[in-house]
Amino acid sequence: MKVVRGRMPALAWWVLTWLLIFLLGGLAPAWARPGQQPGYQTVPTLPPTRRPATPTPLPPSAGTATPPPAPTTAPAIPNLQMQWRASVTTTVPGGQFAYELRVTNIGATPAEQLEARVFLPAQVTLKETHLSAGQYQMEAGHTILARLESLPAGQSWSITAVVMVDPSAPPGTVLKAWAEVSHAGAVWRSPAAAVALPPAELPPTGGERPGR
């Protein structure tokens, strides 16, 4: 059998080659391993930190008082003008005349829910009542109460009371009457309308003294 020196079988070369690869792979420097760089240590990757959510303000509870919004404009108040008079200045017992009330809306908006009162003197008797609109009723103490739902701007509302003087009214009596108009919490009151009765006749003067 002939032996050839200086040559190794092919199987031995193959085993030796894989052995060297295994040894070199285990002894490789740390920087040569995947995922690393020379001079740095491997730091585990942390998940991203979530920022805390901004708290949402809660609506006010049922017990919290919420102030009402301020008014933007002041409410309009219509202006009322009264005219109150008697049809005469003097009369006689048993005579008739009239008290007249006229309410005019000089504002820019309608006047709603008007009330008017006519206060008659005790020495007269009410014969007739005339209203241009609305309704009326009698109250105690010779008082007429009239109501009107709405008075348009620029329009007038009139109330006329025809009275008769009591025949027994004393001479020289002054018959005074008043009127009131109420609207939106305000009251307008007229001055007195006065009608005078003539004074009593004076006894005759002069002549002779008795017994002469």
Per-residue pLDDT of 52-77, as tens digits, reads: 555 444 444 433 333 444 433 334 34
Residue 161, classed as helix, strand or coil, is strand
With a CB cutoff of 8 Å and minimum separation 6, the contacts of 184 are 77, 113
Total-model pTM: 0.58
* pLDDT tens figures, 142-173: 999 999 999 999 999 999 999 999 999 999 99
Amino acid letter, residue 176: K
Domain ranges of the chain: 80-196
CA torsion angle 193 136 133 156 (round to 10) = 30
Pair 150, 182: CB distance under 8 Å: no
- CATH of the domain spanning 80-196: 2.60.40.740
Q: Kindly report the CA angle at 59 between 54 and 64, in degrees rounded to 5? A: 135
Joined tokens for residue 129: 């009542």
CA pseudo-torsion sign 87, 89, 94, 100: positive
* pLDDT tens figures, 76-122: 345 888 899 999 999 999 999 999 999 999 988 899 999 999 999 99
For residue 116, give Cα distances in angstroms to 58, 82, 148, 152, 161: 55, 11, 8, 16, 13
- Nearest C-alpha neighbor of 182 from the set 131, 98, 118: 118
